[in-house]
Structure 1
Amino acid sequence: MTKPTGGAKGPDELRRQIEQTRSELGNTVEELAGKADVKGRALARAADLRDKAGAVTVQLRSSAAQAGHVVQDRAAHAGPGPVRTVVQAGMRHPGPVLVAGAAAGVVAVGVLRWRYVHGHH
């Protein structure tokens, strides 16, 4: 906040200083009201996290679906011992398995956060 170095040099200068002080005070009050609204800030943060989790979930679901198709294709062409072949394929290419696990984890965290935010403890 700027402080005048001297008194107002007339009624117009005094009105300008009063208007500037009112504006600064209004901004300060808005900032304080925003900081005092803990519930509103928490709801906004929860909505932001929900949006981010939704985007990550879509991406992980896509990756998991692709990984599932790869595993199904390999299992279909495995011949004898298809289960062993699928497990071996998962061990050789752990990335898709990790992506599927991460997707499940994100979904679980999202459900837990949603339940917490909506009071379903």
Structure 2
Amino acid sequence: MTDATGGAKGPDELRRQIERTRSELGNTVEELAGKADVKGRARARAADLRDKAGAMTVQLRSSAAQAGHTVHDRAAHAGPRPVRTVVQAGMRHPKPVLAAGAAGAVVAVGVLRWRHVHGHR
């Protein structure tokens, strides 16, 4: 119970107010410490970007494999000899094709991120 001026009426009420104020102050200090931890926030952001890049790499590999099979099927049935040869070479050596695709994706993500940070849309 408090009096009309907002002060404590007794020692028990005063203790409760002190405990509530301590709790609020502790929460505020934790929030400020989190905001001041620039290094920790940067690490978390970097981890998030790594996760997104990894997911994109998996998705690109899957898409590249699917596209490769589609192109291979079409080239095997209707394509001219030079196209068929290139597709067959890509199917025999898929790692360089996937690496090039992943590198292209990383560059694309970097360009998009740079444009976002620098206000270019």
TM-score bin, normalised by smaller chain: 0.5 to 0.7
Task: State the AA in 2 paired with 1:8.
Answer: A
Moved over 3 A (4+): 79-82, 101-104, 107-111
Instruction: State whether structure 2 residue 28 is matched by structure 1 residue 43.
Output: no
Mark the runs of 5 or more structure 2 residues left unpaired by the alignment. Answer: 87-99, 111-121
RMSD: 3.3
- Does 1 or 2 have the higher relative contact order (CA < 8 Å, sep 6+)? 1
Deviation, 1:80, is: 4.3
Distance 2:5 2:105 in 1: 58
Instruction: Find the counterpart in structure 2 of residue 33 from structure 1.
Output: 33
Residues 79 and 64 (structure 1), Cα distance of their counterparts in 2 relative to 1, 3 Å cut = closer
Deviation string for 1:8-64 (max 9, x for gaps)?
011110010000100010011101111111010000011011112211221121111
Per the alignment, residue 57 of structure 1 pairs with 57
Q: Does 1:12 align with 2:16?
A: no
Contact 1:75–1:82 (Cα < 8 Å) also in 2 = no
Normalising to structure 2: TM-score of the pair? 0.65
Q: Measure, in 1, the Cα distance between the counterparts of 2:79 and 2:67.
A: 20
| Cα pair distance change 1:80/1:14, threshold 3 Å | closer
Tell me, in whole angstroms, the C-alpha distance in 2 between the residues paired with 1:33 and 1:16: 26
Task: Report the secondary structure of 2:29's partner residue.
Answer: helix
Q: Quick one: distance in 2 between partners of 1:106 and 1:5?
A: 65
Give the length in aligned residue pairs. Answer: 96
Hey, what's the Cα distance between the residues in 2 that align with 1:62 and 1:28? 47
Gap change, CA 1:81 and 1:20, over 3 Å in 2: same
Identity %: 85
